[in-house]
Chain A
Amino acid sequence: MPKLELQGVIKRFGDRTVCDGINLTVDEGQMVCLIGASGSGKSTLLRCINLLEPIEDGAIFLDGEDISIPGLNPQSVRARIGIVFQSFNLFPHMTALENVMLAPRRVRGLFRAELQPEVEALFARFGLADRMHNYPDQLSGGQQQRVAIVRALAMQPEVMLFDEITSALDPQLVGEVLDVLLMLKKQGMTMVMATHEMGFAREAADKICFLDSGRIIEEGPPEAVFDHPSHQTTQAFLARALK
């Protein structure tokens, strides 16, 4: 059974169809990269998986369980699926540590003291041990993004979604964030990421999905999609992206 499965997912904004019948399976421990032009629907798809956007039709399964039933309380699902955004979205009025502890305290119902060892270990693992008590505006972009990843991981999610998490970073900071993803992959985390980092996608992904106007028009292992794209749109996109 796949860890995450999307069947015919349709998402509309008004009369604009942004996800147009998306089918996708992600196995346990897989890293799937979504690529495609700006506006092709990558972010929207990730937000649908996390139930931040309700879908019009189709279904989303997590461990074989339909999580897209209308009326289902989204909270418990969101706690199992972490998402990290392009613009970090740290809470500016809280220190890095408070950012990370908020959800486990409120949702997992743990006390600060219970959480402290676990959270400190996470900070240390991502090279942030000396940044725990800083506010977001005292951190570099790369550090902020790593704190955002730690914040999502502190909920002990089963799947992680990443939405172009390096796009807002200075080029010299991209590496440190991508390294974090490789680390997670090594630990067996199931991940779906939207990215413009073609080099990284090729190296690290198990599967590439190419989105065009809300449809996955091509998917497969990186070598297949990057080296022998069958679709003309994919060829054109890659020619531009890899130039």
Chain B
Amino acid sequence: MTRRERYEAHQRRRSLVIATISTVTVVAAIYFLVPLAPGWTKVQQSFFNGETLVKTFPKLLEAFRINVMIFAWSAPAIAVLGLLIALARDAKSPALFPLRIFGAAFTDVFRGVPVILTVYLIGFGIPGLGLPRPWNSPYIWGSLALILTYSAYVAEIFRSGIDSVHHSQRAAALSLGLSERQVMRDVVLPQAIRNVVPSQMNMLIALQKDVSLLSFIGPVEIFRQAGVFKSLLANFTPYVGAAIIFLIVTIPATRYADHLMARQMRERR
């Protein structure tokens, strides 16, 4: 071991010891101090009731399947629609000018309105037209509201990805005699999409959480199910259970997105 390595090993040990001590201190402080708060026993009873958690957890998990289902059919639709909107907004041919205007209006509107409002307006409004079953299902119109809103954001991310491809790539492709369309499809888009994968991952995570907003127009997904249990058992623990289920899905996904992002940063340099 060289002198330098000995020194660095010593430094690493030191950092580890300090980090451990400080973490233990903070955790211990929370563990001992929080229960001293006057309302703690009540909070513990109504939010962290082990028995209630065990009893409701399987049902919550089952309700979560609805979230997964809505997510599973919305996400591909969002990807496709988002990409189409992005391409429409960058269309150059004058014949497609109306498409550009439409694309711009679309993104402005759906990014400008709170998701919950869109869910309400579309989810209650369209079935209100008196459509026959199954076309009055809140699953359809709630999903559509999510698809429209998220496509607007996803489209903007795709556009930033298209902009991030250096113009010399376009020039090189054009110089070979490719048409504008071929340049977009074969050269620009593949690179643009790869560049925005981490950002789009974050949109997917957000979507997974926002599926719960559909509970307000009918579907008994996990948040609604937790609400049912809350009323039934007069206890908030089911909400904590729902939060735990979300975290089991979103924490690994978030870590993965961060990992992709970090890797891309390294590659860029």
Contact = CB atoms under 8 A, between A and B. Distances in A.
B15 interface: no
B168 A85 contact: yes
A191 to B, nearest CB: 15
B50 interface: no
B18 to A, nearest CB: 40
Contacts of A24: none
A110 to B, nearest CB: 13
A106 B168 contact: no
B176 A103 contact: yes
Contact of A91 (B169, B171, B177, B182): B169
Given A78-B174, A102-B186, A106-B186, A89 B169 contact: yes
A92 B264 CA distance: 14
A103 B177 contact: yes
A219 B178 CA distance: 34
B177 A76 contact: yes
Interface stretch (B26-34, B146-154, B187-195): B187-195
A78 B174 CA distance: 8
Say whether chain B's binding surface is mostly helix, strand, loop, or mixed.
Answer: helix
Contact of A93 (B168, B176, B182, B194): B194
A146 interface: no
A238 B87 CA distance: 49
A93 B177 contact: no
A92 B175 contact: no
A152 B187 CA distance: 16
Contacts of B178: 75, 102-103, 106-107
A215 interface: no
Interface residues of B, number: 17
B77 interface: no
A79 interface: yes
A90 B176 CA distance: 12
B207 to A, nearest CB: 27
A89 B188 CA distance: 12
B175 A52 contact: yes
Interface in B163-188: 168-169, 171-179, 182, 186-187
Nearest to A73: B179
A92 B170 CA distance: 13
Contact of A78 (B176, B186, B187): B176
Nearest to B168: A89
Contact of B191 (A50, A87, A93, A106): A93
A155 B177 CA distance: 9
Contacts of B190: 93
Contacts of A47: 171
Contact of B173 (A50, A76, A91, A93): A91
Given A91-B169, A93-B190, A102-B186, A79 B177 contact: yes
B172 A75 contact: no
A86 to B, nearest CB: 10
B171 A75 contact: no
Given A52-B171, A85-B168, A89-B168, A107 B194 contact: no
Interface in B206-244: none
Given A102-B186, A106-B186, A151 B176 contact: yes
Nearest to B183: A106
Interface in A177-229: none
Interface string A15-59: 000000000000000000000000000000001001010000000
Contact of B172 (A79, A89, A107, A155): A89
Interface of B: 168-169, 171-179, 182, 186-187, 190-191, 194
Given A90-B172, A91-B187, 11 more contacts: A50-B175, A78-B175, A85-B168, A87-B168, A89-B169, A89-B172, A91-B172, A92-B191, A106-B186, A107-B176, A155-B177
Closest 8 pairs between A and B when the two form their complex, measured CB to CB:
A79-B177, A89-B172, A103-B176, A107-B177, A78-B177, A83-B175, A89-B168, A93-B190
14 contacts: A52-B174, A75-B177, A78-B174, A78-B175, A82-B175, A83-B175, A89-B168, A89-B172, A102-B176, A102-B187, A103-B177, A106-B178, A106-B186, A148-B172
